[in-house]
A and B are shown apart, each in its own frame.
Chain A
Amino acid sequence: MSTTVEAQRAWFEQAIDQAQGDLPGQDLEWLQQTRAHARRAIGTLPVPNRKSEEWRYTAIEGLLKNSFQTPAGEADAARVLEAGGWLEPDYPAYRVMIVNGRCIADASQTAGLPEGATVGSLRTALATDPELLGTWFGQAAAHTDHLFTALNTALINDGIFLHLEPGVVLDRPVEVVYLSLGQEQAPLTQPRNLVVLENGASATLVERFIGPGDALYFHNGVTELALRDGAVLKHYRVQDESRNAYHLSSLYLTQDRNSLYQGTTLAFGGAWARTDYQAVFKEEGARCELGGLYTVGDRQLTDFHLDVRHNVPDCSSREQFKGILYGKGRGVFDGRILVEKQAQHSDAHLSNDNLLLTENGEIDTKPQLEIYADDVKCSHGTTVGQIDPQQMFYLRSRGIDADAARRMLCLGFAGEVIDAIEVPELREYASQRLVATLNQSIQAAE
């Protein structure tokens, strides 16, 4: 083993050993075992490097140059509430505030939840509902060979726990805001989330990841999602991290019979941001729609990795990701769809389209269909293009100036992804956020 690899491994080990604050649920044997197992895995799992397919275009050296520390205790609620501007847009929702990886009860609002619905802190749930948690915990994520997931698992502390009993339908979205506040020692914030929708339950979950200005931190979140028979989850994620932030989200989704998952991720912020999605169909008739939009400019790398597994027959999946790259922005898209031999009548369509606003942007896109069944409908397509001069001329010939025309075309390009968001205020916010980014990119180009 080379010394670099060992030094890199040591970074993970130190991150665990130097973590401050007590971990909850010390008396829960399953939890202690899960943590200990992950801690051991840190010593043996392969360290991500650019020779592996998974990390070919996404270097972790920059991340590992920094040392991050898990903060002790909860952030000061007053300080969080002061930063209330972060809570825009405002719309009726059950809200959970997570600051530097810890739920802040005083800044959360979950009153009025229907019976059979639990929305709140994972830490609290470990005390009140340990058996339910034990049933679900780590089902999807524990058996991964992902070193960053092991890092999160070894230090399981807090996050959200969303559980709906059979048939429970939430009347408004649950919005979780992950706020990362910089401090002297750059924080490692590792929310650990568990979302379980029992048979026929239905919810909308909004997650927003934010951090002020130029705060340096590493958000390494892990979310496990289980949709049981006929459950419906609409899941919107807006990544608005600070411009120096490192962000990794790993999502593990399992779907039972006839369940529906609709996920849209908008990735605007961060210096280095990656989203890993693993979706596994466990029973027939389920459908999974993954959508994403990323804008990437100077000093930014944004990476999406999808791993969709059709293990059983009669499931469908749609993956539609769009990227807008400007300045020296770098994008990575890796979409893998696996259709196992027994998964007949699978229906899977993946697309990744990229718009380069400047010549310096770079996108590495790799769709992979691995199909072992013979009676399936599958397709994939990727494009990388520039703004069409004919479209520009059309708009300008109608009196619209070049900047506005470019903005309209970019919004049009991204429209399909944004329109999939069914919360109007959030959709509006996403459009505005995109416009703001495009204005920045135009200024930068001038």
Chain B
Amino acid sequence: MLSIKNLHVSIEDKAILKGLNLEIAAGEVHAVMGPNGSGKSTLSHVLAGREGYEITDGEVLFNGEDLLSLEPEQRARLGIFLGMQYPVELPGVNNMTFMRESLNAVRRGRGEAELDAVAFMKRVREKAKLVELDDRLLKRSVNAGFSGGEKKRNEILQMAMLEPQLAILDETDSGLDIDALRVISGGVNALRSPDRSIILITHYQRLLDYIQPDFVHVLVDGRIVRSGDKQLALELEKKGYGWIEEEAAA
């Protein structure tokens, strides 16, 4: 489904990703871990199409299509979803209106009919229940004044609404209390299916108790320096990143 080959990315002439390779097949869950500043969010932004990054080498194919030449909205319509590490506040933009515009734009892109107001409401209520998001937050401005956990629930709600093929969740678990972690994991697990893939960026092995990954990758200084299964995450939890960094440097 997703094939990243030798990806090099710079920001303002500073190299951030330095030859990253990653292959993700349909139905797989990949956890990406790594020290602060190693380039995890950069990777997620580049996949979603954020401006300001210079791709100096490499390619990214999504179902065989050259992803990097597409606008962010086109990628979303192809089924890519980015749950952001820092969800953006949109004062004055009603959450419900926003989600409806978004869902219908994606549906149009997929050649599906738009949902009318009633069908949309039904769907959003149902999904909001899934992520235990207070109905009142739907009536407010997108993320404006939401608590950290509420913002993350709102991200997962959008993911549940859009039913993406590839969900990239950038530290969706950071700053969540235990209950919220369980809820959000439930939301993600509900989405798991043989034709969907998930990239989970996280610092905590704890999340992986809830969402069992098929693969765990360690991103250090712009490269994936080690890949393994769940055991790798447990090892990292115990030993930290030092030993991997040393091995990678050697």
Contacts and interface: CB of A to CB of B under 8 A. Distances in A.
Interface in A383-424: 388-391, 393-402, 404, 408-409, 411-416
Interface residues of B, number: 31
B167 to A, nearest CB: 12
Contacts of A397: 48-50, 72-73, 75-76, 81-82, 84
A390 B158 CA distance: 18
Contact of A398 (B92, B97, B141, B162): B162
Contacts of B90: 391, 394-395, 408-409, 412
A425 B75 CA distance: 37
A411 B92 contact: yes
Interface in B120-155: 141
B72 A408 contact: no
Nearest to B91: A412
B71 interface: yes
Interface string B89-101: 0111100011001
A393 B73 contact: no
B84 A394 contact: yes
B98 A408 contact: yes
Contacts of A396: 49, 71-73, 76
Contacts of B141: 412
B93 A402 contact: no
User: Which residue of A396, A397, A401 has the most chain B CB atoms within 10 A of its CB atom?
Assistant: A397
Contact of B105 (A399, A411, A412, A414): A399
B88 A400 contact: no
A15 to B, nearest CB: 43
A393 B48 CA distance: 9
A404 B98 CA distance: 11
Interface string B42-57: 0000001111100000
**Central interface residue in B48, B52, B87, B105, by most chain A CB within 10 Å:** B105
B233 interface: no
A408 B88 contact: no
B109 interface: yes
B109 A415 contact: no
Q: Which of B71, B73, B75, B141 has the most CB of A within 10 A?
A: B73
Contact of A390 (B48, B71, B82, B88): B88
Interface of B: 48-52, 71-73, 75-77, 81-82, 84, 87-88, 90-93, 97-98, 101-103, 105-106, 109, 141, 158, 162
Given A399-B105, A412-B90, A413-B92, 8 more contacts: A393-B51, A394-B88, A397-B72, A397-B84, A398-B98, A398-B162, A401-B105, A414-B92
Interface of A: 388-391, 393-402, 404, 408-409, 411-416
